[in-house]
Amino acid sequence: MSENDNLQEADGKKEVESQETTPTQETTTEVEAKTETEVEQDVNTQSEEVVHTEETVETNSETEQVEAEEKPEAENTSEDHVDEIEASNAEDAEDESNAERHELEDKDYHAMTMDQLVTEFNKLLKHHKIQTISKHVNEIKGEFNAKFSELLDEKKEEFVADGGNEIDFYYTNDQKKLFNSLYKEYKQSINAYYKDREQNLKQNLENRLAIIEEIKGLLTVEENMGTTYKTFKELQEKWRNAGPIPRDKYNNAWNTYHHHVERFYDFLHLNNDLRDMDFKHNYDQKLKIIERAEELAKDENTNRSFRELQVLHKLWKEELGPVGKEHREEIWERFSKATKTIHDKRQAYYADMDKAHEKNLERKEEIIAQINAVNEDSANSHSAWQKKIKTIEKLREDFFNAGKVPIKVNEATWTKFKDAVRTFNRSKNHFYKDLKKDQYENLKKKKELIKIAEDNKDSEDFKTVTPLMKKIQSDWKKIGHVPRRDSDKIWKQFKAACNHYFDRMHKERKAKDQHLYDAFDKKVKLLDDLKALELTDDPKADIKTLQDKISEWKDIGYVPQNKRYIDGKFYKAIDDAFDKLKMDKSKLEMIKFDSKLENLANPDDTRLLDNEQNFIRKKISEVQGEITQLENNLQFFSNVDSDNPLVKDVHKNIANHKKQLDTWKAKLTKVRGKYS
């Protein structure tokens, strides 16, 4: 078993089963790798060992003083909109790549197939820093495992339905192997990153605490104030460049820093010019920050405005120092107000998103109901089940494309969906299990027909065996489907045996009836000659020529049964030739009829003549009826002059019909003469 297969066994076979509780629950066990949360906890624990320096430097009363003096009263009041920003910035303080994390596009992983999820995972690993993709990786992992779990259930059902023992079931595929490989690569990289970052965070915290100590030490330095101020500025620059620290130490470290910065400015009262210059600079910059925050409060893109607001708060806290006491409360309240506006719009945005999730839930409930309706519909044929399978596949696709649902019902909705699909798969597998039994019975029957065909394929008793071979061919069509893997093989075997027999039979018959095939060849040549015949201007001579052709054709004799179509072609060519003659149409009609009778006459079989005689009698009856009707119509014109155009037209029509009647009677006489 390969390394990927081992991963599959640990990550797929055992843990995917436990995943049924929720599609976003992590199921893959990575024994050798700590989770991101565990690493962060380790960092925080080890960082606490470092912060003892700070705790020894500051007394409890001093800490309380920091909390009281760092901000004015309004700024110290607990405000949700400010707390949210500070919490986000505290998280960012631990990872300077957080900005890139925010820029990653949010995608609907729920709607993606396993192939698409693996592709997205691979893109994240190749094109982004490892520490910026954890949120996306966790979403991809949850969705992939959920879909693989569903596939695993389906394959297990099929395995058991085919007679397998559940304890022997094992399944993996290329998608799962590739996903496991990518996830292993991710865990190794993220663990290496956190291990390295742990040391950096620890060292950065020590550096920042040392800077605070140096700022505190400036209050006791007896030297030129300009020199002290320059040293203070250098320490501030060092602080800005000191790098990220553990998030749980962020606010405490910054509050302590700001506290001692303000104490230094109080110490600077001996040189108000330097202090006032800094206060003015900070005031001007904070006004610009406020103005930008107020602009962001009007932006409809809440996520974008919130991310930029984080940056503004970070600048306010990390880059700028205090302002004059007379301005502190005023500018903070203004900044806080803009922050609250953005916060409220963001909360409204999430409320709208919750409503959208509720609509998604309704849609998913409808889809589940439709799947259950399909489950209740009975189907007893392969075609009906194939139609149901396509319907369920479409509903599954619709379910994943319907979007996210509220977190509180996510697990329950997923469970109901899986149960509905599982019920369908069980019914489907049960049907095809029974169908396979029937197919194996059909296979047995068709193999029996193959044996009959092969036992008789070399028989010389054509009279007896031919009906038998035709019967088993008919029986074959009635038996029905066999297992797909056997279908082509047994059909080729059966077809080969039947073809072998009938090829022998046809060859035998052709040899026996060679004179018929020779006659056919002669008739083909005679037909070609007739089509190439050029008539003269002498109708009598042309009639004689055509009659000779008819006699020659008849003298050639019979052709094989399947070649008798050539007679129809010949007499059609004869009729076409007669039509080209320049003579009275009624005489021509009788001459053509004579040629037709030559074809119909057969002393051994009078059926064709009988049919022709019945046809002519019918036509005689029809023409007589039409004449009678026309003569009755004349009675309506008893008082009309005989020169009336309408009356003349009726008399002309009667004359034409009587002429047709004479022709048909003459034909009947000729047909009767052929019986003698």
DSSP readout, 349-384?
HHHHHHHHHHHHHHHHHHHHHHHHHHHHS---SHHH
Question: Residue 100's pLDDT is what?
Answer: 54
Query: Can you give the C-alpha Rg of the chain in angstroms?
Result: 51
3-class SS of residue 567: helix
pLDDT of residue 467: 93
Choose between 468 and 594: higher pLDDT: 468
DSSP symbols for 270-288: GGHHHHHHHHHHHHHHHHH
pLDDT tens by residue, 439-485: 888 999 999 999 999 999 999 898 899 999 999 999 999 998 888 88
Residue 547: pLDDT above 90? no
Asked if residue 643 has pLDDT above 90, the reply is no
> Average of pLDDT values for 115-132?
88
Calculate mean pLDDT across residues 374-398.
87
What pLDDT is attached to residue 488? 92
Q: Provide the H-helix boundaries in 128-173.
A: 134-161
| Pair 194, 43: CB distance under 8 Å | yes
Task: Pick the most confident of 38-47, 514-523, 535-544.
Answer: 514-523
Residue 398 has pLDDT above 50, yes or no: yes
- Which among 292, 322, 323, 321 is positioned nearest to 309, based on CA atoms? 292
Percent of the chain with pLDDT over 70: 81
For residues 377 and 641, the model is more confident at 377
Q: Is the pLDDT confidence value at 257 over 80?
A: yes
What's the residue count for the chain? 676
Output 67 or 80, whichever has higher pLDDT: 80
CA distance linking residue 76 with residue 82, whole number of Å = 10
Q: Rounded to an integer, what distance in angstroms lies between the CA atom of residue 134 and that of residue 187?
A: 10
Report, as an integer, the average pLDDT of 105-134: 85
Contacts of 232 by beta carbon, 8 Å cutoff, 6+ apart = 215, 218, 264
Q: What angle do CA 495, 498, 501 make, to 5 degrees?
A: 145
Q: Over the chain, what is the mean pLDDT?
A: 78
Report DSSP state, residue 24: T
Helix (H, G, I), strand (E, B) or coil at 118: helix
What's the mean pLDDT in 506-519? Answer: 83
Better pLDDT: 10 or 164: 164
Average pLDDT over residues 263-286: 78
pTM summary value: 0.43
Choose among 606, 540, 525, 611: nearest CA to 570: 525
Write out the two tokens for 397: 């696709």
Calculate what percentage of the chain has a pLDDT beyond 90: 15
CA distances for 661 relative to 415, 586, 588, 633, angstroms: 88, 11, 16, 19
pLDDT value of position 98:
53
pLDDT higher than threshold 80 for residue 533:
yes
The values of phi and psi at residue 444, to 5°, are -65, -45
Indicate the DSSP class of residue 341. Answer: H
Distance (Å, rounded) from C-alpha 255 to C-alpha 397? Answer: 52
Which helix (H) or strand (E) segment holds residue 266: the answer is helix 247-267
- Residue indicated by tokens 């045996």: 497
Instruction: Supply the pLDDT for residue 618.
Output: 92
pLDDT band at 68 (very low <50, low <70, confident <90, very high): very low
Residue 223 vs residue 347, higher pLDDT:
347
Worst-scoring range by mean pLDDT, 187-191, 203-207, 584-588? 584-588
DSSP for 500-551? HHHHHHHHHHHHHTHHHHHHHHHHHHHHHHHHH----S-HHHHHHHHHHHHH
Residue 601 in tokens: 């006459």
Q: 586: Cβ–Cβ under 8 A, 6 or more apart, which residues?
A: 659, 663
Q: Within 10 Å of residue 450's Cβ, how many Cβ atoms?
A: 20
Q: Other CB atoms closer than 10 Å to residue 220's CB: what's the count?
A: 7
Q: What is the average pLDDT across 285-299?
A: 89
Element (H, E) at 624: helix 607-634
Q: Is 60 exposed, middle or buried (0-12, 13-18, 19+ CB in 10 A)?
A: exposed
CA distances from 640 to 324, 629, 648 (A): 132, 18, 11
* Range name among 63-77, 310-324, 658-672 with the lowest pLDDT average: 63-77
Q: What is the DSSP letter of 105?
A: P
Give the pLDDT band of residue 522 (cuts 50, 70, 90): very high
Name, in order, each residue with C-beta under 8 angstroms of 600's C-beta and a sequence gap of 6 or more.
Answer: 608, 609, 612, 674
Which positions ≥6 away from 47 have C-beta within 8 Å?
Answer: 201, 202, 205, 245, 246, 248, 249
Torsion from C-alpha of 146, 152, 153, 154, nearest 10 degrees: 110
For residue 492, pLDDT beyond 90: yes
Average pLDDT of the segment spanning 88-113: 65
Report whether pLDDT(78) > 70.
Answer: no
Reported as type and span, the H/E element at residue 421 is helix 407-456
pLDDT number for residue 103? 65
Of 473 and 265, more confident: 473
Instruction: Say whether pLDDT at 203 is over 60.
Output: yes
Per DSSP, the residues of 451-474 read HHHHHHTT-S-HHHHHHHHHHHHH
Identify the three-state secondary structure at position 106.
coil
pLDDT score of 344: 87
636 Cβ neighbours under 8 A, 6+ residues apart: none
Q: From residue 178, give the alpha-carbon distance in Å to each of 115, 126, 287, 341, 386.
A: 10, 15, 53, 46, 31
Least confident of 275-284, 370-379, 576-585: 576-585
In this prediction, residue 525 has a pLDDT band, given cuts at 50, 70 and 90, of very high
Least confident of 60-69, 152-161, 191-200, 511-520: 60-69
The residues near 308 (Cβ < 8 Å, ≥ 6 apart) are 292, 296
> Is the separation of the CB atoms in 597 and 671 below 8 Å?
yes
- Is the predicted pLDDT of residue 58 greater than 80, yes or no? no
